[in-house]
Amino acid sequence: MNFDFTDDQHAIKRTAKELLADRFPLERVRELAESRSYDEDAWREMCELGWSGIFIEERFGGQGLGVIALVILMEELGYALAPVPFLSNAAAGLAIQFAGTPEQRERWLPGIASGEARGTAGLLSNGEARLVPDAEGADVIVIFTGAGGYVVEAAAADVEPFETMDPTRRFARVRAGGGDALVGDGGDAPYRMATALAAELTGVGQRAMEMAVDYARERKQFGRPIGSYQAVSHRCAQMLLEVEGARSASYYAGWCADAEPDTLPLAASMAKAYASDAGWRVAGSSLQVHGGIGFTWEHDLHFFLKRATVDAMLYGAAGELRDYVAAASGLEAAAPAPA
């Protein structure tokens, strides 16, 4: 069995890595983060390349390349820490394509695929969706309630922007009543959203690990690179283990989304739970390897740590997802899927 990417998938990954490295050197990421803004030119370029609709069916203006292609892009976007509204728009597209009515798909998917009508999605908790990326400026918002969900025009919702510790992404609280109901209970759309986010966390972890390894090779104490000391080399090895584990889980969940959707809820929950913990731990370990310099505002590492921390809470916290995995695996009494 061949577990490698197809030629097209290799091309997507190579193009994404090269373009994002050119558009988002860390100096540019810092500039955008400190101004709490996005690179709209880069976002338009991504839309022109078809990234915004990479998984959306061709009849709605997308490329129809599936969730695996989206996972490839999300990992590279996380690696670059790209300040663009890609995740939110993809989440809305996943929600409407896989849980929307025919009318909702016809109305919203073409604009989401082209980037001309941006969307976002959030999970309802105690009467509001508390952590909705890019709700301010979106045209359509999808709200999942746990027992279903609905689509609402952003202009009809109460959107309250607020700042999280992650300055590379915008968030808001959303309160909205009514709206157009999704099909049934929303199906597996939230798990597809969680899969995309797990891939982004994998990319964040990969970059944080590489920063630690590079520093451990260059920084010397007592005439030797600090990476030659077991305390540092073992920490770097643990980072590699966790990043590779997150990557395997994320790509398996992406494969399930495209080829075996019945197993997606379990696979996506495991991927997001593992990647949430791994992203935060790897970034934290990288900070420890960097020592005092890693704690400063002037060093770029803190942007990755903050993105990983907020991502871990978005679209299902690790503890909730582990509880669902345990229940779905028969390890404890059945519990509802996280919402």
Query: Across the beta sheet with 128-133, what order do the strands follow?
Result: 158-162, 171-175, 128-133, 119-125, 140-144, 149-153, 180-181
What span, in angstroms and rounded, lies between the C-alpha atoms of 228 and 178?
A: 60
In sequence order, what are the beta bridge partners of 122? 143
Mean pLDDT of the chain: 94
Tokens of 99: 């849980």
CA 314 to chain centre: 9
Query: Of residues 60 and 226, which shows the higher confidence score?
Result: 60
Report which of 122, 57, 163 is spatially closest to residue 314, judged by C-alpha positions.
122
Per-residue model confidence as pLDDT tens digits over 262-277: 999 999 999 999 999 9
Is residue 338's pLDDT more than 70?
no
Confidence of residue 336 (pLDDT cuts 50, 70, 90): low
For residue 4, what pLDDT band results from cuts at 50, 70 and 90? confident
Bridge partner list, 151: 142, 180
Q: Which domains does the chain have, with CATH numbers?
A: 7-181 (1.10.540.10), 189-328 (1.20.140.10)
| 228 pLDDT above the threshold of 90 | no
pLDDT of residue 331: 82
User: What are the tens digits of pLDDT across the range 92-144?
Assistant: 999 999 999 999 999 999 999 999 999 999 999 888 999 999 999 999 999 99
Strand, helix or coil for residue 221: strand
Which helix (DSSP H) or strand (DSSP E) does residue 76 occupy? helix 66-80
- CB 126, CB 216: distance < 8 Å: no
> What is the pLDDT at residue 127?
87
The reported pLDDT for the residue numbered 269 is 97
What is the mean pLDDT of the segment spanning 239-244?
Answer: 98
**pLDDT above 90 for 330:** no
- Measured distance between the N- and C-terminal CA atoms of the chain, rounded to whole angstroms: 36
